[in-house]
Structures are given as structure tokens and as C-alpha cells.
Amino acid sequence: MRCTGLLLFPLLISHAVKALDNGLALTPIMGWLHWARFMCNVDCDADPDNCISERLFMQMADVMVKEGWRDAGYEYVCLDDCWPSRRRDASGRLQADPARFPGGIKKLADYVHSKGLKLGIYSDVGAETCAGYPGSLGHYEKDAQTFADWGVDLLKFDGCNMRWTRLAEGYRNMSRALNATGSRMVYSCEWPLYEWDFHKPNYTAVRETCNQWRNYADVYDSWSSVKSIAEWTALHQDAVAPWAGPGGWNDPDMLVIGNFGLSHDQQESQMALWALMAAPLLMSNDLRSLCPRSKALLQNRRVIAINQDPLGRQGYRTATLGSFEVWERPLSNRVLAAAVRNKQEMGGPQKLPIVKVPGWTTCGSLCNVTQILPQYKELGVQWQRTALAVAVNPSGVVLLTFHPILD
């Protein structure tokens, strides 16, 4: 008997709400952002190689071109907090810290553009950033115009130091101000994150205003942090996942792959989950000294293709089976991507028969199965009652795609 291939996702019905209409982020953006790895290191005397300075961003841009990052799709080189001078200039414009960015942001943007990359900048909806640098409150038009004049391509707009009841107005006003400059800038928001403590955010408005939005806490360089983000997303998936789609994405925060806190299996888990969540892929690591295995994972074309799938549906956690959980994401051409996680953090690899993957029913009678992680492997044509099982390492993942063979 042939299964009808009914998808389990309530989810295939995504909200038909229009995205911010700037033509950007039609697939999740990819790039590099300094925060998780370099934080607010402003001591260039003591630590010239790792402080937040134009040199750091120029070096990252160089490596992104030389070592295949740009070709793999990583395009945005992004500043986070702590780039500006503590004072605005005489005409009230934000300015970069003159000692750390002697050339200024315009010159940095020109440099980044000359490499075929894009530059992202950071500010805050309130009067100060989270780290206490000048924020944009009272200066939205001026700051938007300054960023446009500099040739900036993305604004990460943080939500510190603003009453939650004023977030909507602030984020919307900045969105309008960016639009009014006539320059196209990806608008990356943290608005829902700062509202969730008080009420359920208005995602219709968020999606109309922002190209991507943070919902939950900052990522740290640890497995407990990455796990908690995945768990939050799964627990809130009905509230957040339907809002993702071309032009607007849920942002579970940076990829910390290649740093100190995750085992290789955990790095694979982050990469697979971020691909299935249709997340922006913003790495925060030191590209100048990345271990080859992490680099190969971050540049894995098959995983990136899942993340960048043009259908733009966000995946869901579809099953929890003992120590396993399964996440699934419908891709274009009726392909399904599935991540099987082993949440047990001791022992050895555990086996799960793939017929237990809920989306397996979408295969009809026959399916071509490909394992993407941990290693690429064609698992061949499998029928509906296949005995095929995957072995998943503790805190690791097996990422699969199922291509239905239609009759």
C-alpha cells in the first residue's frame, strides 16, 4: 500500500503576511559577526590582534575571500557592539572610535566591498547600547542616513535600555528611517526577544518591519547554550516558525562552531539545527585560525543548501522518541530534510530506524535517502518499510534528506 505523503506539518501553511519589502534576505543571510568570539575587547594596546578594530574586520574580510567563505555564501562581515566612539561628532553623527578605526567606517565599507563582501553595523533602539555605547534613540533618521552614507549593508539593532512598551514604535521608526535613505540595508532586530518577558510579540508587525529577529537569549560558547536555544525554539515553534519565509527569518543567534565550547558532534548538531531552523548563518569565531574540521563543516555545501532552500519554510521538531528527537524541514521539490539528534550525553552511538522518522511517510512507496552529516553517504533507494537505521553519537546528529521517487 502506498502512503499518501501527507505532511505532518500544520506548518506548511505559513503566514501569508508580507515581509519587510526591501528585497533583501530572500534566503537567510550568511556571514560573520564579531560578538560571541571577540565581545567588547577594546584594549588594542594589550591585545592588538583580537580587539574590536578596523584591522580585525579587514583581516576577516581577507580570510573570507582567500579561504572560500565568500564562495560558500558567507557574505556579510558584521560589527557588533563597542565599535563607536563614546561621543557623537560635532554634528551629532555617530562616529567610530578614532583610535581603533582610524580610517572610519566608510573606508572599512569600501574595503569590504572591494572584496565582494558586505558590511554590517550595530546600534540600539534605546539611548545606549547593551555595552553602554551611544544608542540611536532620538537620532534614528540621522543614524540611518549616516549608515547609508557610509555604504553599510546591514544594521543589527539591539533592544537594550528601552521600555518594552516603546520597542514597537522604536523598531518601526528605524525601519522607516532606513527605508527613507533609499539604501538597501538588511534590518536585523531583537525586538521580540525583549518583549517575550512581558507578552507574546506581534509577529505580524515584526515580519513587516525586520528582515530577521532574535527571539531568545544570547548564544554562548557552550553546548548548554546551544541546546537551550534549540529547546526554546521547539517549545515555541508554533508561535515563531510560521513567520519565517523569504524576506524575514527567526534568528537563533550566532554559530559558535570553531571556538572552544562545543565538541565536534555538538558543532554538527548546531549546524544541522540552524540549517533546519532556516536561521541566518552568522559565524562568530576566529576565521584566521579555524580548525579544518570546523571549517569543512561550516562550508559544507549540502548543509548550506538546506539552510538556503528557496521555499524558505522553517523546520519543526516533529518527534521525541526516548533519547532521540527529530527535526524536519520541508524543502523545495518535495524533498524533506530531517535531523535525528541523540540527546543522551554518555555512552556510545544509538541507533534509530528511519521508519520512526515521522516525515518518512512523505516518501510514498520509495525514497532516495542521503546522509549529509556526519559524513556524506548515499543510503540508496529505500522502500516504505525499510530496515535502514542510523547511528547517532551522544549529543550528535545525523542529517538526512529524503527524495520521494514519484510514480
> In this complex, which beta carbon is closest to ligand GLA, that of residue 192 or of residue 315?
192
3-class SS of residue 373 = strand
Nearest to 52, CA basis, from 12, 101, 17: 101
| Contact region with ligand GLA (CB under 6 A), list: 49-57, 126-134, 285-293, 362-370 | 126-134
Is residue 97 near ligand GLA by the rule CB under 6 A? no
Encoded one letter per residue, x for contact with ligand GLA by CB under 6 A and - for no contact, window 147-176 reads: -----------x------------------
Helices and strands per DSSP (H, E), number in the chain:
13, 16
C-alpha 102/C-alpha 264 separation (Å) is 38
> In this complex, which beta carbon is closest to ligand GLA, that of residue 154 or of residue 354?
154
Member of 75, 80, 97, 143 binding ligand GLA (CB under 6 A): 80
Is residue 131 near ligand GLA by the rule CB under 6 A? yes
| Contact region with ligand GLA (CB under 6 A), list: 127-135, 223-231, 242-250, 324-332 | 127-135
Is residue 26 near ligand GLA by the rule CB under 6 A? no
Strands 336-342 and 212-214, how do they pair? unpaired
Is residue 328 near ligand GLA by the rule CB under 6 A? no
Contacts of 102 (CB under 8 A, 6+ apart): 54
62 annotated active-site: no
Member of 30, 130, 304, 397 binding ligand GLA (CB under 6 A): 130
CB of 280 to ligand GLA, least distance (A): 12
Residue 154 near residue 20, CB atoms below 8 Å: no
* Cis, peptide link before residue 201, omega less than 30° from 0: no
- Cα angle 161, 163, 168 (rounded to 5 degrees) comes to 105
Residue 198: CB atoms within 10 A of its CB come to 10
> In this complex, which beta carbon is closest to ligand GLA, that of residue 52 or of residue 326?
52
143 annotated active-site: no
Is residue 216 near ligand GLA by the rule CB under 6 A? no
Give the helix/strand (H/E) hosting 297: helix 292-298
Residue 396, C-alpha cell as written in the block:
550528535
Count of residues near ligand GLA by CB under 6 A:
9
C-alpha 24/C-alpha 118 separation (Å) is 13
Is residue 190 near ligand GLA by the rule CB under 6 A? yes
Q: Which residue has the cell 527605508?
A: 179
CB of 232 to ligand GLA, least distance (A): 14
CB of 35 to ligand GLA, least distance (A): 5
Catalytic residue among 158, 221, 253, 265: 158
> In this complex, which beta carbon is closest to ligand GLA, that of residue 193 or of residue 319?
193
Residue 134 near residue 88, CB atoms below 8 Å: yes
Is residue 75 near ligand GLA by the rule CB under 6 A? no
> In this complex, which beta carbon is closest to ligand GLA, that of residue 130 or of residue 271?
130
- Cα angle 67, 68, 71 (rounded to 5 degrees) comes to 155
Residue 95 near residue 88, CB atoms below 8 Å: yes
Q: H helices within 24-166, ranges in order?
A: 35-38, 54-66, 69-72, 104-114, 140-150
Scan residues 34-63 and list those touching ligand GLA (CB under 6 A).
Answer: 35
> In this complex, which beta carbon is closest to ligand GLA, that of residue 80 or of residue 268?
80
Active site members = 158, 218
* Residues forming the site for ligand GLA (CB under 6 A): 35, 80-81, 129-131, 158, 190, 218
